[in-house]
Amino acid sequence: MGRMERPLRGVADPPADGVGRRDFLKVCMIAAATVGLPASVGRRWAEAAQAGLKPSVIWLHFQECTGCTESLLRTSHPDLGELILDLVSVDYHETLFAAAGYQIEEALHQAMEQHAGKFVCVVEGAIPTKDDGIYCQIAGRTAIDILQEVGSKAAAVIAIGSCASWGGIPSADPNPTGAVGAKDILTGTTVITIPGCPANPYNFLGTVLQFATMGTLPALDDKSRPLFAYGRTIHEHCPRRAHFDAGRFARQYGDEGHRLGYCLYALGCKGPETHANCSTNHFGEVPDCWPIGLGHPCFGCTEKGIAFHKPLHEAAVLPENAHPPIFPEHRRSASVPAVGAAGLVAGAVIGAGLMASKKIAVKDGEDER
Amino acid sequence: MAHASGAQPVGGPLLTRPYKWLLAFLGLWLVILFWRFAAGIGAVSGLTDGYPWGLWIAFDVVIGTALGCGGYAIAILAYILNKGKYHPVVRPAILTSALGYSMAAIAIVIDVGRPWFIWRIPLGGWPDLGGYNWNSALLEVALCVMAYVIVLWIELSPAFLERWAETSSGWLQSLTRWGLKVVDKLLIWIVALGLLLPTMHQSSLGTVMLLAGHKLHPLWNTGWLPLLFLISCVGMGYGVVVWESAVSSAAFKRERETAMLTSLAGTIMVVNAIYLVLRLADLVISGKTLMMFTSGIYSVMFWIEIAVFAAPIVMFANRRRREKFGTMFRASILLVLAGALYRFDTYLVAYNPGPNWTYFPNLPELLITLGVIALEIALYIFIVKRFPILAGVPAARSAH
Amino acid sequence: MSMDRRALLKGIAVAGAGAAVSATPTEASEAPQAPPDAVGMLYDATRCIGCRACVTACKTANDLPGNLYDPPNDLSGDTKNIIKKYEVDGHVASYMKQQCMHCLDPACVRACMVGAFKKRDFGIITWNPGRCIGCRYCQVACPYTIPKFQWEKANPKIVKCELCLHMLKVGKQPGCCQACPKAAVIYGTYTDLMADAKERIAKHPERYWPQGSPKIFGEHDGGGTQVLYLASVDFAKLGLPDLGAESAGALAQKVQHGIYKGFVAPVALYAILGAVLWRNRRAAAKTGGE
């Protein structure tokens, strides 16, 4: 039975027939490929999972819209169900679990005790800090407390989505709840951030799988974002870049330039200021399913200070080398040989003048006698 | 105004060892010139859009033509103020001028980017005569210099004609003798042109830089530029004549014309004094007095100029020292340096096109300039050895 | 001898007086006027987003090589229009579009001795390759250092914006104005653009520089230009120098005319020199030699 023929399932229904070994291997290899790792790594994942080594994941939700979880549900490489059941063991997830109330809190404590120091803590949503953080409480405890407790026992903390990364939409001006990202609470720990609104699910999947099966984290930038996904700006690998460079812009939604797929910079696209890989890893597993692909300018959802801050249609700042300064540098022609030669000539002329002068003085002296 | 009495070819072998080195260098120069015309000006120079005029214009053309004002300066003394004792220096001065201006013309052909349209200039832009910009100071310079080069060679022609009259026979001899008569008859009008034309174009070379406007530093930017250029070129002319006379005497082992040259001291003092008064008065009257001291490097360059112009006056202040040839020789160098520095500053140093533009001649550019100088020296030696230019004893050895 | 010296001094005095007379102000400094069909551009730096569509459009319209992958860093022999940025504390305070200003009293036209640069149709200054000898005096004369020379070519041209005259002639707008997505640079008649600019500064005096009583650069600067500028920062910071109201050419013209008007002084001087020389020669002939 081919992978593609199976209908999409909700994770509430476990697979009726289980997952065949070949399909599982295929899933792992596709997952590895999606995040830029070689197929051999996918094979190792499959082997590790089948050996029963399924790392524990504790998923915390705070000030969030659950969009990041939802975006994970829209994946099929691997299917979140596969991920949950076959590759990792999600031991606490408020949205996906059927349990609620004391039951689920008990699950959380058990998971923390059982896998202390080994589980991956995933944070979704911002953490309010104003007024001691009372604006988000679960089971009577503030988000700050929960995060500090769970985070301190985790092997790795991954903040998924812009909210957990730097505050996201709850932190939009005037930020009435003092919302911040997980990094600002867990100041001592390495918190990997996967910003985006929602985060691109494959960025998350790749990071989790790498840690879960190989125990290593991907290379991170200065904001703790994996470089494989956030190393470039949208502008640097945008399919419409050629239009930008040729000066072809859409000026109004629906005008001819817009319909021809021209660059959206003039409409306020924040691509030049936004680090993300949406242009190469589209959403919803539908080609071109990402803002610019659909004809709307990027609004910089991964970037603090851009998303929910800069007006949608305000022009983005282009990279440093795009414009020369008012008085650009020009060719300098004072090379060493030139200056040397000029100096030699000048010296020779002065020397000759002095010598001639002396000679004439001598002759003058002779003449006088 | 018959031919300069006592002028003789210096004689002696032409292809001496130093002369051969000169010719070898000129060979290299021709190779570089070929490269310049094949690959464009940018390949052989440090010129840029910020500094489109550099060593070739500021030195070879502007300073070069001023160095060629020896003929002009001496002609004023010899022909207008009728000081007959300067006649022996007239011909060498005219030769230096003719060569100087011809080299400047060569430098222009090398420097301009599209020299194939130069031929239109003496035709006034024919066939489209209305098209030329008769207001342009540079057009005045171009036409004037072209005319003056011709005038100088005509003024010098008696030296060639005399020689050819001596050494030829038959119809060639009659032709040269006829030529001498014609030149002699027309000499007044030719010499008058030779006095008018430099007055015009040396001053216009000053006017040219007026269009640079705010890009020319205010210490140099003044409506008096044409007059200052004219006066300083006269001083340079005397300097060149003295210097050239001293060097020729030493090189060709002739007696020095000490008395005649040292008598130039008075004139030189007057010329330089007029320049200094005008220059300083202009600055004070335009309210730039303080600027002379507060302009940083520009102030330094300015005061160096003033010092070099003032130095000969100071040197000649002592009557006894005035009569020594050594003083005159050193003063001549300073005279030339003063005018050259003034022109160099006006065209290059005081010209500021804006931040982040710099200029320095690169190696090929320097070599091209040196080549022009080498060509002038080579031609000077050739002509002086073969034609009656220099006066004074001892007379020429056997001419071959 | 003393007679001749007196004659010379007298003659010089006459020639000098003649020159002085011809220099007296019939050359009153009037502001140069735009020709009646003058066109131009208005660049409002506050609207410019630095997209550089105008740079590529200019290259396309004028058939110039180059692109924005390897962008030009200044006007050059390949680039007639460029967008530069003025930064303050690491962020862009204003963009600046740089190209020929199409001055009302252009220094380049005054400089060009062979008449290659002329102010032609619509007051646009164009270059004639059939005349130019490449002397580069125009580069020295232009107060904005706009004309660029093709240093790397054996057959070099002088290159600068010519307001796409070839496109205007077929009823199209200049390339840059067509391309601008924010109408930061617009094309129109000189009178219309001036009126537009005045309206903008009247309506929003706080938006432009100097705040409160904004200035239109090019209204009087250097005698006035057909390309007008509005900006939110000091024009000098954008590379537009403080030129005063008189063009550089006006002073040069006064000096040159003062000396050469009607060619009176040179002819007079020639006549005097000739006369003195003739007298000297006659005197020498009488006394039998020098």
Q: What is the ipTM of this complex?
A: 0.90
pLDDT at residue A195 greater than cutoff 80: yes
Residue C87 bridge partners (DSSP): C92
Q: Name the helix (H) or strand (E) containing B270.
A: helix B265-285
A342 chain-B contacts, CB cut-off 8 A = 360-361, 366
pLDDT at residue B246 greater than cutoff 70: yes
**Of the partner residues B246, B256, B358, the one whose CB lies closest to the CB of residue A334:** B358
B192 chain-C contacts, CB cut-off 8 A = 270, 273-274, 277
pLDDT at residue C104 greater than cutoff 70: yes
Interface mutation target, options C46, C48, C51, C58, chain A, most CBs of A under 10 Å: C51
Nearest CA in chain B to C159: B49
Q: Do residues A315 and A263 make contact, with C-beta atoms less than 8 angstroms apart? A: no
Nearest CA-CA partner of C248 in C159, C148, C138: C138
* A333 in B contact zone (CB under 8 Å): yes
**Of the partner residues A325, A328, A329, the one whose CB lies closest to the CB of residue C87:** A325
Contact B370 A332 (CB under 8 A): no
Contact C239 B138 (CB under 8 A): no
What pLDDT band is residue C8 in, cutting at 50, 70 and 90? low
A363 chain-B contacts, CB cut-off 8 A = 256, 325
* B138 in C contact zone (CB under 8 Å): yes
| pLDDT attached to residue C13 | 54
Q: How far apart are CA A278 and CA A195, in angstroms?
A: 12
Contact A324 C73 (CB under 8 A): yes
Arithmetic mean of pLDDT, A337-364: 80
The residues, ordered by sequence, that sit 6+ positions from A164 with a Cβ below 8 Å of its Cβ are: A62, A64, A68, A123, A124, A125, A126, A181, A182, A193
Distance from CA of C252 to the nearest CA of B (A): 6
Question: Which carries the bigger pLDDT value, residue B66 or residue A369?
Answer: B66
Provide the mean pLDDT of chain C. Answer: 87
Contact A328 C74 (CB under 8 A): yes
C73 chain-A contacts, CB cut-off 8 A = 324, 328-329
Contact C51 A326 (CB under 8 A): no
Distance from CA of C190 to the nearest CA of B (A): 25
Residue B381 lies in a domain: no
Q: Do residues C111 and C138 make contact, with C-beta atoms less than 8 angstroms apart? A: yes
Distance from CA of B395 to the nearest CA of A (A): 21
Nearest CA-CA partner of A357 in B332, B198, B59, B393: B332
Tokens of A100: 């609620």
Residue labelled with tokens 């997980």: A182
Provide the mean pLDDT of chain A. Answer: 84
The answer for B393, left when phi > 0, alpha when psi is -120 to 50, beta otherwise, is beta
Q: How far apart are CA C112 and CA A6, in angstroms?
A: 80
Tokens of B3: 């031919």
What pLDDT band is residue A12 in, cutting at 50, 70 and 90? very low
Contact A247 C51 (CB under 8 A): yes
Residue A142 bridge partners (DSSP): A137
- For residue range B129-169, what is the model confidence (pLDDT) as tens digits? 778 888 889 999 999 999 999 999 999 999 999 898 888 88
Q: Do residues B146 and B109 make contact, with C-beta atoms less than 8 angstroms apart? A: no
Contact C143 B189 (CB under 8 A): no
Residue environment code for B144-173, b if the CB has 16+ CB neighbours within 10 A, otherwise e: bbbbbbbbbbbbbbbbbbbbbbeeeeeeee
Tokens of B150: 């011709």
Distance of CA B4 to the CA centre of its chain: 22
Nearest CA in chain C to B184: C281
| pLDDT attached to residue B265 | 85
Arithmetic mean of pLDDT, C183-202: 96
pLDDT at residue A88 greater than cutoff 50: yes
Nearest CA in chain A to B358: A332
Provide the mean pLDDT of chain B. Answer: 89
Q: How far apart are CA B272 and CA B289, in angstroms?
A: 20
Q: How many residues does chain B have?
A: 400
Tokens of C27: 């050359």
* B68 in C contact zone (CB under 8 Å): no
| pLDDT attached to residue A318 | 83
Arithmetic mean of pLDDT, B22-26: 96
What pLDDT band is residue C102 in, cutting at 50, 70 and 90? very high
Question: Three-class SS of residue C109?
Answer: helix
Number of domains in chain B: 1
Interface mutation target, options C54, C73, C177, chain A, most CBs of A under 10 Å: C73
pLDDT at residue A42 greater than cutoff 60: yes
Interface mutation target, options A364, A368, A369, chain B, most CBs of B under 10 Å: A364
Chains that touch C (3 or more CB pairs under 8 A): A, B
Residues spanned by the domain of B205:
15-351+364-376
Distance from CA of B16 to the nearest CA of C (A): 37
**What is the torsion angle, in degrees rounded to the nearest 10, for the CA atoms of residue B224, residue B228, residue B230 and residue B234?**
160
Distance of CA B175 to the CA centre of its chain: 32
Contact A251 C71 (CB under 8 A): no
Distance from CA of B299 to the nearest CA of C (A): 22
Contact B210 C152 (CB under 8 A): no
- For residue range A246-299, what is the model confidence (pLDDT) as tens digits? 888 998 999 999 999 999 999 999 999 999 999 988 887 788 999 999 999 999
What pLDDT band is residue A60 in, cutting at 50, 70 and 90? very high
* A317 in C contact zone (CB under 8 Å): yes
- For residue range C50-63, what is the model confidence (pLDDT) as tens digits? 989 999 999 999 99
Distance from CA of B330 to the nearest CA of C (A): 30
Contact B213 C111 (CB under 8 A): no
What pLDDT band is residue B4 in, cutting at 50, 70 and 90? very low
Q: Specify burial of residue C153 (Cβ count, 10 A radius: 0-12, 13-18, 19+).
A: middle
Arithmetic mean of pLDDT, C127-145: 95
* C241 in A contact zone (CB under 8 Å): no
Arithmetic mean of pLDDT, C203-208: 94
* A322 in C contact zone (CB under 8 Å): yes
Residue labelled with tokens 């911002």: A126
Q: How many CB contacts within 8 angstroms connect chain B with chain C?
A: 187
Tokens of A154: 């985790």
Residue labelled with tokens 């005081």: B350
pLDDT at residue A19 greater than cutoff 70: no
What pLDDT band is residue C194 in, cutting at 50, 70 and 90? very high
Residue B294 main-chain phi, psi, to 5 deg:
-110, 20
| pLDDT attached to residue C10 | 56
Interface mutation target, options C3, C96, C137, C240, chain B, most CBs of B under 10 Å: C137
C112 chain-B contacts, CB cut-off 8 A = 133, 136
Interface mutation target, options A264, A323, A331, chain C, most CBs of C under 10 Å: A323
Tokens of B360: 């320095």
| pLDDT attached to residue A34 | 64
- For residue range B293-341, what is the model confidence (pLDDT) as tens digits? 999 999 999 999 999 999 999 988 888 877 778 888 888 899 999 999 9
pLDDT at residue A357 greater than cutoff 60: yes
Biggest alpha carbon distance in chain A?
129
Nearest CA in chain C to A250: C181
B333 chain-A contacts, CB cut-off 8 A = 353, 357
Residues of chain A with pLDDT > 70: what percent? 86
* A318 in C contact zone (CB under 8 Å): yes
**Of the partner residues A247, A325, A327, the one whose CB lies closest to the CB of residue C56:** A247
What residues does each domain of chain C span?
2-29+250-286, 39-245
C134 chain-B contacts, CB cut-off 8 A = 112-115
Domain containing residue B95: CATH number? 1.20.1630.10
Q: How far apart are CA C38 and CA C33, in angstroms?
A: 10
Arithmetic mean of pLDDT, B344-357: 94
CATH of domain C39-245: 3.30.70.20
Distance from CA of B357 to the nearest CA of A (A): 6
* A353 in B contact zone (CB under 8 Å): yes
Instruction: Give A297's DSSP letter.
Output: -
The residues, ordered by sequence, that sit 6+ positions from A293 with a Cβ below 8 Å of its Cβ are: A239, A279, A282, A287
pLDDT at residue C19 greater than cutoff 70: no
B330 chain-A contacts, CB cut-off 8 A = 357
Contact B360 A364 (CB under 8 A): no
* A262 in C contact zone (CB under 8 Å): no
